[in-house]
Chains A and B, each alone.
Chain A
Amino acid sequence: MTKRQDKRIKIIGWLLFFLAIGFFFLQMGYLFIHQRFQVEYIDNRIFYIINIICVLCLSLGILFLLTLTKKWKLAVASIVILFIIMNSVLLVIGNSKIKNVTSISPDFKHVLAIKQNTKTGEAVYYRNYYGILALPKETLPYKTDGEFKVEWLANDVAVVTYKATDKTIHQFIGTYGDRGGGLSYYYVGAEIQGAWQGENIELISSPDGISVTQNGRTETFDWDQIVQFGTLAIVLTENNQAKWTISLNEDFTIDSSSATPPSGGISVYRATMDENKPFVLIYEGAN
């Protein structure tokens, strides 16, 4: 090995070593803020994953920095493998008790997180802060059977479709943005007044409610059956079950002050546990 290569290895060794120390302090800091402010990792598995990365960096750092005998190398390798196995087992056991549902937005700016207590069926929606940390926001009202389906209708709208233990389907929407500059509240249903057209699907929002026609079959919902989430999406419900989610696409602009037709599209997404894709609809005109 040349002197230059040797130096490079040493630098990498130090980098890995300090990285390991960094991860170590991250974990210590996490335990502190968790205790103090009940902040959690957005996914409980992150704790064990960081442990594993920390030990890998530490062991590689040592191997690069120090010249160890074969016996010592074996000892380090055994400790590392044992540690990784232990963390992996705890990760799997932990996840079987608290099921973590995590989904990152297409633009990597937001994370939707739900943690479900598999014993009680209760699920809590978490709002994320600083990337990997999260605080509980609200408990989903129905106990679930653990099956969740997450679909991002826009970079800032995530729809969670889930089945309650009584087999009814529900939708919960995490919204992380706004289309009106964030200054005022507006009603999504009112903003999309008019007729909207997509492939094999038509939607009409009128003062009486919203109707969705797909493949010739029309479902009509009164305003009493329509529930808004944030300022980006609404869920159309029937008999206490979700039927459709409608969300404003990123190109949709709110212009409450004038009578100009809406610009931009909307997405319509059926509430079903089967694999399905949202429809994108464009404005056709006043109904």
Chain B
Amino acid sequence: MKKIILITASVVMVGLIISIIIYLQYPQSSSLPTNREEQQDISPEAEKLQPIYDDDHTVGYSLQNKELNITFDKGKTWQYVPVEIDNLFAGEYNGNKQELIKNSYILSENRVAFLYMEKTNEYENKVVLTYSHDQGKTWKDAIVTDRYPMIRFRKVAFLTEEFGYVIISGDRVVAQEASNVYITYDGGENWKETNQSGVTRLISDGGFIDEQTGFLSYGTINPDEPELYVTQDGGNTWTQAFTNVPENYHEIFVTAEMPVKEEAHLVLLVNQGPNGDYKGGKVKGKFISKDNGKTWEFSKEIEVDDQEAG
């Protein structure tokens, strides 16, 4: 017995000493953000950057080495983006941080832009768009709004060289939040908030299809019908669109996606929301509008692949 006690005691002592050595190797309070100055000590070559590409993007980016870099030549040369990585994921975001948040950035040959939240002071945040029109040689910061609560949904897009929009939501409490739309007519330098739709449900998507016509789709938590708002005057007024969901699709097609132009009318896909299991959740409802988005008539079911479903 004496032997067992002594051996156990020795194991504990050695284990504790090793644990101290391991503990000392850890960066103390690993989550304390490191300074930019300190980060610069790590050259980008510290880890060979691997570009990440989106389906429809030809410009790649990397979040390696705790900084954002972009490449226009498949990784041969890189441009550093002067944005703190933490800010890109700031606010209410629980997804993976290995890739940028969908729709929070634009990567094209003529325009790269990143939308993010930054603390202004102890009590406030601002929403900023950092963008470049010369492939990352020079950068500009545009303040979309200088007072905003904790951001949740975020989306930025440009329809033309000059016209673009930002849709953000924040201050969420359970299933209620504020959502706001900002538009620019000068390529992103100045932003102006449009009137609000007045809806406090959680926004699921939004966007414009031309300078006048825009949509906001609400309902991400157990929606039972699509709630789509439309503006036909550049955001001055928002009215609820009427989506005529046939009786047999009630509570099946529940979340409206962003409408698209197709020939002389608009097409809207309505998906089954997060919990849909109609036909395995693999179909969406196709609706058509002939009055620029105010009313929508059901056209047919369309099949989508697994990744897109629901």
A contacts, CB < 8 Å to B:
17, 20-21, 24, 27-28, 31, 34-35, 38, 40, 44, 47, 51, 54-55, 58, 61-62, 65-66, 79, 83, 86-87, 90, 94, 97-98, 115, 117, 120, 122, 124, 136, 139-142, 170-172, 183-185, 227, 235, 237, 240, 242
Contacts and interface: CB of A to CB of B under 8 A. Distances in A.
- B interface: dominant SS: mixed
B26 A34 contact: yes
Contacts of A94: 28
A27 B18 CA distance: 11
B29 A117 contact: yes
A86 B120 CA distance: 43
Contacts of A140: 122
Contact of A44 (B8, B16, B29, B123): B29
A100 B75 CA distance: 43
B304 to A, nearest CB: 35
B302 interface: no
A174 to B, nearest CB: 13
Contacts of A117: 29, 32
B43 interface: no
Contacts of B5: 17, 61-62, 65-66
Contacts of A235: 123
A24 B15 contact: yes
Interface in B243-301: none
Given A40-B29, A47-B23, A142-B122, 12 more contacts: A21-B8, A21-B12, A51-B20, A58-B13, A98-B28, A115-B29, A122-B32, A141-B119, A141-B120, A172-B122, A185-B173, A227-B124
A237 B124 CA distance: 12
B20 to A, nearest CB: 7
30 contacts: A17-B5, A17-B8, A20-B9, A21-B8, A24-B16, A27-B16, A28-B15, A28-B19, A31-B22, A38-B31, A47-B23, A51-B19, A51-B20, A58-B13, A62-B6, A66-B5, A66-B6, A90-B24, A97-B28, A120-B32, A122-B33, A122-B35, A124-B32, A136-B32, A139-B32, A141-B121, A170-B122, A184-B174, A227-B124, A240-B121
